[in-house]
Structure 1
């Protein structure tokens, strides 16, 4: 091709090109320590008629390496914060100084000591001292976990504010980049793009995101959550995050709020990824379960101890009372309720220790029937802390519907899961109103020791069985059981009433339900396999024939013809029973009476101490249920948290290794190499000098031509 460009112009274009290359190299060298800087490269094309054309400066970047680094940053962000927070809780539960298991052991050891010497007041006082120590230990751990929830909420607020700031910054940088690229197609706005990439990388540390380039080739980068929700849009608009708690304002839910429309979208917190996802996962997998399971242990233990102590007789020869004060929990109103002034309360039922779960309870009003008193139809559903349903082995949500529940102050109605609920607002509820009960969340901190007198510890059994001195057979007493001590001597009787009259005796004729006969006061054998159950007036209550064994004689009598229908209609009457071994003779009699002066009796004390080894606490896992002792359940909590902490540490190390690899890959392409830039600097200096020499030659030739003309 014939070139028509003169040597002078060619030399000038060479000088300009070399100078631009030197500028780019110097810019790279100057920013070698600038965080987020991507090295730049200037390329030229040959002009059609000679010389060098205008250069284009652009960043050197591998999109695949950049995306992989961003994903690995997200993984490290999530595992790092999850591991740190989980380790804190693990250290609390694993610490010997904070061990609830040890406090439980000391408490039950004191009960055993008191049982060995039922009349020793010092031993009884030690029981109350250890009970207060146990409650204090449990309360301290519960308060620690509550503090961790408050810290978590503050950290979530801070993290979301940071994320929103980055999202807004990315959107603004997009606008600036769009304008600059439209005005200058030869020079990429590298500084702004580096700033935007750093903001995107910082955002990736907070949450899992994906980026897409605009199809208009205007430099715009759109940002989405990995789950698909848009954060930064092509038109310059953006969405921001927010927190909302409904009905529990302390349990923050993540929302995505549009800046252009008054709408919000609830997000699945554990799928967010990054630091934010790690915080939510820590709350869901560690903090909330530990808090509720600790409360479950405390409430189950206290309810079981109360229940067993009520089945005994104290040092004053009165029926036992409660040792612990169980907290009453107020229901949380949902925002959509007909009135936020409505109230509902719940507590663990007196016999609910074995049925109490660590779940939350959602109560929905299905129907309201006015009257005196008004009644409600409700549905009770078990929920996980995140609001998802608790399911059975078939994956079906666990719910139960109840009809005709009394709605008045002071009346608690039993529902599933070992709790009972009070609806004090009567007919003021509306269909669709919902309440959330969290009986185990703060229960450990709210538990108190109610008993103050050591005499009130019921170590003795409230009844005894004495063999008549005139017995001829070799049958002898082997065990007694008390299952109910509820006192009610007036019709209509409480369905839970027992045969104890509350005045140091058992109900006689005219007082016991039905009014015809009194409570069982003796068993008289008519043969080795038959016997009569009689009351305190020697009236025959029922005759049992063909007994195959001598276990639970009064329970066998319940199935015999003629057993009082008024007693069958009750839940557990008379509330006591006994078993014999040996062979009785006709006429052998075993007398049942209140355990008056039985101060050295320790039968109920043995039952109290044995609660330590009984499988009382209910546990659910993947829909299956099992029971554990208090200490086994606590050990499971410690083990579960320890396992999560160990796995989190391993996952963090693996994520950090992956991040290092992807960072090296990215830096090998986009990072500044001083060796390479130094070589370029020498090379471009030489090209600059050569172009200058060409320019000098052109000038010399021009001067020669001028001289010849003269």
Structure 2
């Protein structure tokens, strides 16, 4: 009896000691990240049969298990990776939103100030201070374009650096999980398949931290190791083997990083961005493709549109020296970058029609050896023609099939914008053609101010001293330059073109006449021998006709053709972009807050099962202490009984 009691007391003592150790371990790790509460599992030892029935043989500790719920863990992982994606996106886009919408740092004040300068020149075309003010306003506008571009480039540089660091961290976590897999498999095989609780917690914590970087899915293999997958099922960790990821310059765009799997032979296999969602990496990639690229391209679109349209109208004017206008802004250019391995000479890409231009990037790929190519819009993969997107492309005479180039019409336009003029006298405020009626005309006819659409034939109109003179006689007008065809349009009628040389055309009051890139109207009652002159403008006159046309560009729809006509002004393009960025920033912020709430709820639910409760552990300490003391008392009684038996003997 004494021996049996002693043995039973010893099993109880051992079980209580295991409980005390486990409880103490829980208390010590209450602040350890990823730690799951542990508890012992007890069962009775096999009973001994006697003639009077089965007598118990005490207890045994079957295992030490951790509190773990796979469903709640997956909920936490899902909420955590989405929160980190939105939080990363929100942090970065807030910088752009604040920059673009700032009432002083944004583009709108400088844009408005520039066109105010144009209006001042239109009001005082011969005023040198007004002209100097316009040049200064132009420099300020250019500086603002450059500042916005530089700031976006700074954000882009930071994003690229974070992408590179994040990919390195993903590879580090992958190797850490692979090492833990090996240790867990070795420990559980050596310990009669008992769970290696602390190692399992360490692995789960590593998976959670990895999941904060990119969305992962996991599966536990038969040997206790864990398979970890990213994207749409790309293996990252299988057993003790970890895949190496590396951020390398993209083959299609060397200015940005792509995520690559590094094979054992060193070859890099690019993972499409669409497959990498969730976590910090997903947020960075989404920000770059959805917001950074489009924002910089739209600012560039505005810069290209303004510079091109302003230069085109300025070239139709005349400066104070009597010369035709030159470029007011430095003409922007299209960025063309070869893909890695491309040996074909770059095609010449220029702007053809700014109204057709969009804020998209394109991939030009040669399809034959004689310069044939296809043009693909990167945003949706649609094949387009160069003319349909406002470009003119001249390929080289010979090409290699498969060679490709990244065509970015507007990406760097804002950063490269500059004012070309330095001399105030070179601002072409006047029109190069002047019209007038002879003072001695008998009728009441009048000729409207000339509108110039081309300067190629201005010399055909003679000189100020010997102008082109249109004479009315018998209902017809004559005297047109011999080498120019004439198109006239009666009021409410259709245009009629008369090939050169033009003897005469019929006169109708209110008609419009166009020839040699110059158009004007004639109206009123004209008498025989009444004459009207069309001649080059005398240099230095106080003429603001071209300045007025330059000023009208502020409110003229010049961009984003829709239904066959331009649908947006320069300012509306910027306003739409600011609105889009602001709406996206608000959307991401709301999503981040919502995911943070879901994460808190999921974490609380998980911790209610896996977390250490100090009050509960204190109660367990008392319970196991009492059990230990009771088992010791049993052993003490057994010792006394055994001693009594010896005395009887």
With the length of structure 2 as denominator, give the TM-score of the two structures: 0.89
1:489 equivalent in structure 2: none
1:664 equivalent in structure 2: 604
2:457 equivalent in structure 1: 499
2:416 equivalent in structure 1: 446
Alignment of 1:520-539 (within 5 A): 521-525=468-472, 531-532=476-477, 534-536=479-481
Q: Relative to structure 1, is the Cα distance of residues 78 and 541 closer, same or farther in structure 2, using a 3 angstrom cutoff?
A: closer
- Secondary structure of the 2:451 match is strand
1:476 equivalent in structure 2: 446
Q: Supply the RMSD in Å over aligned alpha carbons.
A: 3.0
2:316 equivalent in structure 1: 311
1:357 equivalent in structure 2: 358
Give the Cα–Cα distance (whole angstroms) in 2 for the partners of residues 543 and 61 of structure 1: 89
1:618 equivalent in structure 2: 560
Q: Relative to structure 1, is the Cα distance of residues 243 and 209 closer, same or farther in structure 2, using a 3 angstrom cutoff?
A: same
Asked if the contact 1:237–1:259 (Cα under 8 Å) also holds between the matched residues in 2, the reply is: no
Match status 1:706 vs 2:646 = yes
Asked if the contact 1:532–1:540 (Cα under 8 Å) also holds between the matched residues in 2, the reply is: no
With the length of structure 1 as denominator, give the TM-score of the two structures: 0.82
Farther-moved stretch of structure 1 (576-585 vs 173-182)? 576-585
Give the Cα–Cα distance (whole angstroms) in 1 for the partners of residues 3 and 530 of structure 2: 136
- Secondary structure of the 2:119 match is helix
Asked if the contact 1:160–1:241 (Cα under 8 Å) also holds between the matched residues in 2, the reply is: yes
Give the Cα–Cα distance (whole angstroms) in 1 for the partners of residues 565 and 341 of structure 2: 34
Alignment of 1:193-342 (within 5 A): 193-214=200-221, 216=222, 218-225=223-230, 227-234=232-239, 236-259=241-264, 262=267, 264-269=269-274, 271-338=276-343, 342=345
Match status 1:437 vs 2:438 = no
Give the Cα–Cα distance (whole angstroms) in 1 for the partners of residues 553 and 147 of structure 2: 23
- Secondary structure of the 2:617 match is helix
Kindly state the Cα deviation for residue 287 of structure 1 after the two structures are TM-superposed: 1.4
For residues 614-641 of structure 1, what are the alpha-carbon distances to aligned partners after superposition, in whole Å with 9 as ceiling and x for unaligned? Answer: 1123278xx9996322222212222221
Kindly state the Cα deviation for residue 562 of structure 1 after the two structures are TM-superposed: 6.7
Match status 1:460 vs 2:400 = no
1:590 equivalent in structure 2: 532
Q: Relative to structure 1, is the Cα distance of residues 54 and 260 closer, same or farther in structure 2, using a 3 angstrom cutoff?
A: farther
Kindly state the Cα deviation for residue 651 of structure 1 after the two structures are TM-superposed: 1.2
Give the Cα–Cα distance (whole angstroms) in 2 for the partners of residues 597 and 624 of structure 1: 39
- Secondary structure of the 2:218 match is strand
Kindly state the Cα deviation for residue 657 of structure 1 after the two structures are TM-superposed: 0.7
Match status 1:641 vs 2:585 = no
- Secondary structure of the 1:592 match is strand
Give the Cα–Cα distance (whole angstroms) in 2 for the partners of residues 669 and 196 of structure 1: 18
Asked if the contact 1:532–1:542 (Cα under 8 Å) also holds between the matched residues in 2, the reply is: no
Give the Cα–Cα distance (whole angstroms) in 2 for the partners of residues 212 and 44 of structure 1: 29
Match status 1:177 vs 2:184 = yes
Match status 1:579 vs 2:521 = yes
Asked if the contact 2:181–2:240 (Cα under 8 Å) also holds between the matched residues in 1, the reply is: no
Give the Cα–Cα distance (whole angstroms) in 2 for the partners of residues 19 and 236 of structure 1: 39
1:38 equivalent in structure 2: 36
- Secondary structure of the 2:212 match is helix
For residues 325-376 of structure 1, what are the alpha-carbon distances to aligned partners after superposition, in whole Å with 9 as ceiling and x for unaligned? Answer: 124445211124245xx34454445xx433332222332334455xxxxxx4
For residues 276-300 of structure 1, what are the alpha-carbon distances to aligned partners after superposition, in whole Å with 9 as ceiling and x for unaligned? Answer: 1111111122211111111111121
Give the Cα–Cα distance (whole angstroms) in 2 for the partners of residues 644 and 654 of structure 1: 15
Please list every run of 5 or more consecutive structure 1 residues that lacks an aligned counterpart in the other structure.
370-375, 390-396, 402-414, 486-497, 509-519, 565-571
Give the Cα–Cα distance (whole angstroms) in 1 for the partners of residues 524 and 30 of structure 2: 96
Give the Cα–Cα distance (whole angstroms) in 2 for the partners of residues 42 and 317 of structure 1: 99
What is the aligned residue count? 628
- Secondary structure of the 1:323 match is coil
